[in-house]
Structure 1
């Protein structure tokens, strides 16, 4: 460790050897001037990944490890996810609707293999290495998102603050919110402060057009029927969560002109402002008069323009109690005695009429209602047909503890199992504990449900045990959707275990087992996939090392076509989708000319290694033939 830090220090010193004293001072002054609020980590002092465009990444299909016959809508990619993301940026940029990842939490316990030489707890660059590792991958992931796409990232409480600042840096302006998720119940492994962490977080970052689907409102509270408006309605609280010092315009006597009854305001939760927006009237300017709405002198005839309460009453949006207690206090002494006995209208323990209130004498001789006026909410006037998703993820075992109330819909919460569900699921599928710390399927399934439509793409580039793939499979089985998944996982091979292959033996194997399972609960799950491996190619070697089969896979993915096996014996390969025809020409064949005659050119894409050599045989046939190498490189370096 000491040797490594010394080497870095020597490297940094060498950067400034040729600068004069004045230049060094200027550089320091510039750094002081350009300091910004945000997260800083030692990007220059750590060993970072290779540059995004340092070399080309190709993906090659392994037919033996793929599952179900081609064409394959789903992908499992084996390799460093930095390389996989570079390939996906070439093939899927702007098309992924939902990315969910559960990255390493940087515990310092060598719980991940990337840059594991930096993961010693004593390494002062450990946090920066982790941040740089994620930063490079998150910036690539950002380019994959559709304009209505979302990125969901699980993280523990220890690293949440750092990761959130990092994501603000990598995805500026995209922060939405976060979910709080109960990972377990009854944890006893307390830390030094005797606190046991039972929650994790899911950070939500999204493009501007993204919205969660929400939950359909139950309308179970709309139990009343209005014959005039021909609509169901419900009654709800009319007050606002402000006290009389915060909203002086809300402290007034509400008047029912039909029964000549007055209703005092709760001083802790006053009535809504009686004035339309933009009105300049201020109740504080009239301290000598108890405000009454609607005004006594306006109850017969036209409602004054500044009286919103009177207008709402006429429109039927405010209703008064039919059966209630009504009292009249003929003298101030009678009223004060009632106050002393808490025999005035109350809001729990709060008196709505009290000794020191302004204009106490106003209430003498008035019919005082002890009930509460309510607001009429018509079903047809709802702004949205769905309820927004709550940021609190409720455990399955605690669904009966959700708070109920006028503004709470019990169906507006994501409901998820704990980590125990994830562990049990893996054991059920593999018959052993093949993967530790697996997230529960219910957690990811419900987030994907809220984030995607039936034809969207879901990506997990820390796929691990492929929980996200199972979540997609379950949703498709439930609603008949055609969601596609892309799972990226490394082998996690080490010097001690060079034959280890997490992607092959866990990530892909879980999906294979689900496809072949005779267990009733998995009976409807099916998702064929192509198994691909990443490999690097130097740009100068592309003409020799890029295989036609690798180019074919990239071109199919670019044109949103399911992957097929390349036929190396054919002069040209053809993939005809519902709306797109893709051709890769390896060498000239007269049969290609016959096939091109009369074809619709609008959605026809022809690629060739040497377009000019093919074009000379077309005899004026207008076909756009694109160069394979230049097209892929341009897309790769975008």
Structure 2
């Protein structure tokens, strides 16, 4: 073995071979250095520093805007929020190879024949990290266009095995056409879910329930009395149901015969139609309307010239019984009462995001790309970001995916459309969802001072928070602005600032972020159901403070936990190491 494997250790070679043995034989394959990718995750430690002057509204902050490479931000979030994010929505780069996105300079060179692989691997590293953030009832929603959908979907199948739910079709524009007189006026939103996730759907429309016959059991509607079997498959289900009031006999649809039996049938497990009739549960449609055939020849002639009853067939097992009867032109259905319906029953969400509503499924009405551009211009007074998604698209997806207290993450946040969607939805329904927006500076050699995260992502939220309009009072969303920072593991004891450790621990315990007081011997944050304490140096007052509080769900962190345990003596609280807790969470 030689060449690119010369520098690998025996352990690395074994790991590489084991991974290759586990590789699926059917699926997407792309060029990637698996060992280098694995090493990159634990190459260094990531801290997040709160930047107070870029944060908005007073602390505590339930929402976050994180500036930095989203690979670094996701590593920090995996350490602090693993398994606790309900909804992740992202609109990743579409691999155009154009210089319209900063990462294209490094990853998406049009002339690079491995351009597809570098794009896929770039995203794969991030989605495998994001996958670990999802709650057991969480969902990942990913926008993509038609050109890259197949590759992205196969890659996501690898990154999130067994989690595929499906995809939405979203109409991005109206009119226009591309080559071949084919209009590519739609994009997709791919959906991958954890085991217990379900879209909220919408309440069933109950307008079809009424009580025209004053039934004592209340409002009802009628359902089919059929099964998906033909008259050739279920000959014993081919018989007449007779209305005793009119004497009219109703035949079954030969392609969907009766779903109930009749008295005398063997092996009946449910009530025969005669019992249903006696209980007043059968409804005869087109009541009183019938046709009659006085001879078999007359009936067969009508079948041959296609003027016979729509359910008549020459080879019906009971064709002779049609002769001399009043054959009903309608159908027989069964009453279903509103009181017996499950109140939680909802319509499923349709795969069409274009305002189309059907009887059995819901499709939300969302805007097109031009709406997103207008919204950005309305906030900034100019087009501060190209090709933003419309707020309505993300708002309706979040409405269907996240509820009270849930976290919504966007790690390609761009113009913060996702943040505005969460803010609008919270203002509309009064439910307190939280958001985390991750965006880079996108600084380049030509624009070294560019900072997309500060000047667009966070600024959009600031401008929305500052709107002087009563209808936007409930829209405000205070947020902490954080900046990622790399630290070598060997330098953690010296370079990990207490304020950065405090931000990580607050996030780890589900607490909103606050400013760390570096002058205090210890900091405390008392939240609902949990109390967090971080000790920088021992102060005797801490002993009395802890004794006055319930010891349940009190977590005390220290840089030297052994020494603190001796100082606290008989106070029974759990004392943890700051460094060990964070490193263990980071290297999971």
Report the TM-score when normalising by structure 2. 0.91
Deviations 1:6-63 (A, max 9, x none): xxxxx983327999xxxx9xx99x9799761111111129985852111110000000
Partner secondary structure for residue 468 of structure 2: coil
CA distance in 2, matches of 1:178, 1:314: 47
Q: Spell out the pairing of 1:525-540 with structure 2 (5 A cutoff).
A: 525-540=475-490
Offset at residue 592 of structure 1 (A): 1.6
Offset at residue 343 of structure 1 (A): 4.4
Offset at residue 540 of structure 1 (A): 0.4
1:46 touches 1:125 (CA, 8 Å); kept in 2?
no
Offset at residue 122 of structure 1 (A): 2.9
CA distance in 2, matches of 1:212, 1:370: 41
Question: 2:555 corresponds to which residue?
Answer: 605
Corresponding residue to 2:172 among 174, 179, 183:
183
Question: 1:344 corresponds to which residue?
Answer: 308
Question: 1:15 corresponds to which residue?
Answer: 5
Deviates more, 1:387-396 or 1:622-631: 387-396
Offset at residue 254 of structure 1 (A): 3.1
- Decide whether aligned partners of structure 1 residues 533 and 315 sit closer, same or farther in structure 2, where only a CA change above 3 A counts: farther
CA distance in 2, matches of 1:91, 1:368: 71
Question: 1:287 corresponds to which residue?
Answer: none
Question: 2:197 corresponds to which residue?
Answer: 210
Does residue 373 (structure 1) correspond to residue 337 (structure 2)? The answer is no
CA distance in 2, matches of 1:615, 1:32: 48
Corresponding residue to 2:346 among 373, 387, 395:
387
Partner secondary structure for residue 496 of structure 1: coil
Aligned length: 581
Does residue 332 (structure 1) correspond to residue 271 (structure 2)? The answer is no
1:48 touches 1:133 (CA, 8 Å); kept in 2?
no
Q: Spell out the pairing of 1:394-413 with structure 2 (5 A cutoff).
A: 394-396=353-355, 399=356, 402-404=357-359, 408=360, 412-413=362-363
Question: 1:256 corresponds to which residue?
Answer: 242
Does residue 109 (structure 1) correspond to residue 68 (structure 2)? The answer is no
- Decide whether aligned partners of structure 1 residues 539 and 311 sit closer, same or farther in structure 2, where only a CA change above 3 A counts: farther
Corresponding residue to 1:233 among 206, 220, 230:
220
Partner secondary structure for residue 541 of structure 1: helix
Deviations 1:133-178 (A, max 9, x none): 1111111111111111111111111121111211111111111121
Deviates more, 1:147-156 or 1:37-46: 37-46
Partner secondary structure for residue 168 of structure 2: strand
Offset at residue 64 of structure 1 (A): 0.6
2:70 touches 2:440 (CA, 8 Å); kept in 1?
yes
1:319 touches 1:375 (CA, 8 Å); kept in 2?
yes
Question: 1:91 corresponds to which residue?
Answer: 80
Corresponding residue to 2:513 among 542, 554, 563:
563
Offset at residue 506 of structure 1 (A): 0.7
Deviations 1:91-140 (A, max 9, x none): 11111111111111112223332363341223121111111111111111
Does residue 223 (structure 1) correspond to residue 210 (structure 2)? The answer is yes
CA distance in 1, matches of 2:49, 2:173: 40
- Decide whether aligned partners of structure 1 residues 45 and 631 sit closer, same or farther in structure 2, where only a CA change above 3 A counts: closer
- Decide whether aligned partners of structure 1 residues 129 and 308 sit closer, same or farther in structure 2, where only a CA change above 3 A counts: farther
Offset at residue 197 of structure 1 (A): 0.8
CA distance in 1, matches of 2:393, 2:77: 25
CA distance in 1, matches of 2:225, 2:250: 12
- Decide whether aligned partners of structure 1 residues 242 and 114 sit closer, same or farther in structure 2, where only a CA change above 3 A counts: farther
CA distance in 2, matches of 1:39, 1:631: 37
Question: 2:322 corresponds to which residue?
Answer: 363
Partner secondary structure for residue 157 of structure 2: helix
Partner secondary structure for residue 181 of structure 2: coil
What stretches of structure 2 of length at least 5 have no aligned partner? none
2:354 touches 2:363 (CA, 8 Å); kept in 1?
no
Report the TM-score when normalising by structure 1. 0.84
Question: 2:257 corresponds to which residue?
Answer: 271
Partner secondary structure for residue 224 of structure 1: coil
Offset at residue 89 of structure 1 (A): 0.8
CA distance in 1, matches of 2:22, 2:570: 63
CA distance in 1, matches of 2:461, 2:161: 35
Q: Spell out the pairing of 1:440-451 with structure 2 (5 A cutoff).
A: 440-451=390-401
- Decide whether aligned partners of structure 1 residues 224 and 519 sit closer, same or farther in structure 2, where only a CA change above 3 A counts: same
Does residue 146 (structure 1) correspond to residue 132 (structure 2)? The answer is no
Deviates more, 1:471-480 or 1:320-329: 320-329
Deviates more, 1:357-366 or 1:550-559: 357-366
CA distance in 1, matches of 2:547, 2:347: 54
- Decide whether aligned partners of structure 1 residues 521 and 154 sit closer, same or farther in structure 2, where only a CA change above 3 A counts: farther
Does residue 135 (structure 1) correspond to residue 85 (structure 2)? The answer is no
CA distance in 1, matches of 2:574, 2:320: 90
Cα RMSD (Å): 3.0
CA distance in 1, matches of 2:507, 2:21: 47
Offset at residue 627 of structure 1 (A): 1.4
Question: 1:548 corresponds to which residue?
Answer: 498
Q: Spell out the pairing of 1:562-601 with structure 2 (5 A cutoff).
A: 562-601=512-551
Deviations 1:397-428 (A, max 9, x none): xx5xx445xxx35xx22221111111111111
Question: 1:289 corresponds to which residue?
Answer: none
2:286 touches 2:329 (CA, 8 Å); kept in 1?
no
Offset at residue 316 of structure 1 (A): 4.3
Offset at residue 250 of structure 1 (A): 8.2
- Decide whether aligned partners of structure 1 residues 419 and 313 sit closer, same or farther in structure 2, where only a CA change above 3 A counts: farther
Question: 1:123 corresponds to which residue?
Answer: 112
Partner secondary structure for residue 616 of structure 1: helix
Question: 1:488 corresponds to which residue?
Answer: 438
CA distance in 1, matches of 2:508, 2:318: 75
- Decide whether aligned partners of structure 1 residues 186 and 12 sit closer, same or farther in structure 2, where only a CA change above 3 A counts: farther
1:226 touches 1:232 (CA, 8 Å); kept in 2?
no
Deviations 1:509-564 (A, max 9, x none): 01000000125653431100000000100010001000011001001111111100
Does residue 173 (structure 1) correspond to residue 159 (structure 2)? The answer is no
Corresponding residue to 2:452 among 490, 502, 505:
502
Deviates more, 1:205-214 or 1:613-622: 613-622
Deviations 1:326-384 (A, max 9, x none): 23322223324544665433xxxxx3224565553331112211112123222233346
- Decide whether aligned partners of structure 1 residues 537 and 263 sit closer, same or farther in structure 2, where only a CA change above 3 A counts: same
1:584 touches 1:608 (CA, 8 Å); kept in 2?
yes
